[in-house]
Amino acid sequence: MSDSNAVERTFVMLKPDALERGLIGEIISRLERKGLKPVRFLWRAVSPELAAKHYERLTSKPFYPLLEAYITRGPVLASIWEGRDAVAVVRRLVGATDPALAEAGTIRGDFGLDVTENLIHASDSPEAAEREIGLFFD
């Protein structure tokens, strides 16, 4: 577990539905107002190869073809955020994986209803953050 006073970096990806639905500004604003600092932003496409590396743990799941089609269908906004205990703090702002179950007040709880199209990815550990930053920012 992370030291709650440690300044950490985390990786955040706004997924294609966030752009399509005009929610980029709303989501970035929530992270900024919390006090997190944006370090880098990059618009980019996600190839099937990058999707498979990023979602390594999930490629054998029955829902993976749907997840791959979604994440590769349009540009994503990759970003790095910094702040005190940033990994856990951003995960709490994002909410549960399934937006139908995510608490009101979280990003997925307020704006999502579909488990595949859940708007945003955030790293689940400092180690995952460094790995994902390495994948998306060469």
Instruction: Give the active site residues.
Output: 121
- Number of residues in contact with ligand DAT under rule CB under 6 A: 9
Label the pairing between strands 37-44 and 120-122: unpaired
Under rule CB under 5 A, how many of the chain's residues touch Mg ion? 1
Q: Is 121 in the site for ligand DAT (CB under 6 A)?
A: yes
Task: Please give the residues from 31 up to 70 whose contact with ligand DAT meets the rule CB under 6 A.
Answer: 58, 63, 67
Distance, in Å, from the CA atom of 11 to the CA atom of 81, rounded to the nearest integer, reads: 7
Query: How many whole angstroms separate alpha carbon 62 and alpha carbon 124?
Result: 22
Q: Which is nearer to ligand DAT, 5 or 8 (CB)?
A: 8
- The one of Mg ion, ligand DAT, none whose footprint includes residue 106, by CB under 5 to 8 A per kind, is none
Residues that bind ligand DAT (CB under 6 A): 58, 63, 67, 97, 115-116, 118, 121, 124
